[in-house]
Amino acid sequence: MRRALASIVAATVALAVVGCGGSGSDVKTEGGNAQLTVGVIPIVDVAPIYLGQQKGFFTKRKIDLTLKTAAGGAAIVPSVMSGEFQVGFSNFTSLLLAREKGLPLKVIANGVSSTGEQGKDFGAIVVPAGSPARTAKDLVGKRIAVNTLKNICDSTVKASVRKAGGDTSGLNLVELPFPDMPAALAANRVDGACIVEPQLSQVVAAGGRVLTSMYVDAAPNLSVAGYFVNEKLLKSDRDLVDRFTEAIKESNAYADAHPDEVRQVLSSYTKITADLAPKLTLPKWPAEINKDSVATLGKLATDDKVLTQAPDLNALYAD
């Protein structure tokens, strides 16, 4: 898995440097509407964009969406850089790492945020039924699943372990897509997992246990992920990017105000069952990014040597 992630990053850098693949700015139109392919992850975080698509928030701005799923933001970045996707959804740690590697991406909108409440967040470090672990410190030396390495799970799991008094040098993080985590925990193939909804509720329903809310441990009201584009698209069609940004902000606001519809739309792109949907802990979808919390993620990633130096945070965001 480590080799696979390294290959993704290397390929992405090559695309950015030599200009191979798509331009990242070639947008097709049909019937007067721009055709946008957006890379997302099959988790609760992106429920607003599915709702916005259903409610017509994008079509009224002359945008037709095609939503394609990937294991994580680190896998989505190369597709946005090559032009396969015009917009991507990714956690902020992966986006900071991509910027450090010279990839020309810009964040255009907030994607999802923590509730800020310990034990009542949409993401958590969990252990299977029967685990002797009582705090994140007890997972040092154990196999902990993260959806991709060197991303926000990497940084926030380490923050939780440190907060509990553990030594992060002894962590054993392994890559596993979110949808595969419940089965891996149930079979004791991993000892813990950094997981989000709806898989979090699946684990708890199967007898698993929450150790801590890692996003809450990392920073108050953490902005977890955002939507981003290739700079080329931003420069070639700023009006289109602005229309997308308006639509996703309307979608986020609608999701925050209509939690029952969020629970319903999840069944259209995840394997959540009807009995678990009412039990999900939903995240927050504020209009604006909590930039102070993203700065904290940058510091965590720098301290953990995911980043080689303190990031240029201003360069991350679209003007």
Tell me what pLDDT residue 66 has: 97
71 versus 163: the higher-pLDDT residue is 163
Q: Are residues 210 and 230 in the same domain?
A: no
Q: Are residues 11 and 153 in the same domain?
A: no
Tell me what pLDDT residue 21 has: 38
Tell me what pLDDT residue 34 has: 96
Please report how many Cα atoms fall inside a 13 Å half-sphere around the Cα of residue 163, on the Cβ side: 18
Q: Are residues 34 and 87 in the same domain?
A: yes
C-alpha distances in Å from residue 62, one per residue of 29, 244, 247, 270: 9, 9, 10, 27
- Sequence-ordered strand ranges (E) for 162-249: 172-175, 192-196, 209-212, 223-230
Give the single-character DSSP code of 160: H
Where among 174, 200, 218 does a domain terminate? Answer: 218
Q: Are residues 213 and 229 in the same domain?
A: no
The number of folded domains in the chain is 2
Domain boundaries, position 191: 123-218
Q: Is the pLDDT of residue 4 over 60?
A: no
Tokens of 300: 């965590």
Averaged pLDDT score across all residues of the chain = 91
Q: Is the pLDDT of residue 8 over 90?
A: no
Q: Are residues 129 and 182 in the same domain?
A: yes
Q: Are residues 76 and 106 in the same domain?
A: yes
Question: Which band of pLDDT confidence, cut at 50, 70 and 90, is reported for residue 2?
Answer: very low
Burial 116-154 (b: 16+ CB within 10 A, else e): beeeebbbbbbbbeebebeebbbbbeebbbbbbbbbbbb
Q: Are residues 54 and 177 in the same domain?
A: no
Percent of the residues in the chain that have a pLDDT greater than 90, as a whole number: 86
Smallest Cα–Cα separation from 34: which of 225, 233, 228? 233
Q: Are residues 210 and 254 in the same domain?
A: no
Q: Are residues 19 and 67 in the same domain?
A: yes
Q: Are residues 45 and 143 in the same domain?
A: no
Q: Are residues 135 and 84 in the same domain?
A: no
Tell me what pLDDT residue 74 has: 82
Tell me what pLDDT residue 25 has: 52
Mean pLDDT on 142-159: 95
Q: Are residues 198 and 227 in the same domain?
A: no
Model confidence over 115-136: pLDDT tens digits? 999 999 999 999 999 999 999 9
Where among 186, 218, 250 does a domain terminate? Answer: 218
For residue 162, what is the domain's CATH number? 3.40.190.10
Q: Is the pLDDT of residue 18 over 70?
A: no
Where among 198, 218, 238 does a domain terminate? Answer: 218
- Sequence-ordered strand ranges (E) for the chain: 28-30, 33-40, 63-69, 87-91, 105-113, 123-127, 143-146, 172-175, 192-196, 209-212, 223-230
Model confidence over 71-129: pLDDT tens digits? 888 889 999 999 999 999 999 999 999 999 999 999 999 999 999 999 999 999 999 99
19 versus 200: the higher-pLDDT residue is 200
Tell me what pLDDT residue 63 has: 98
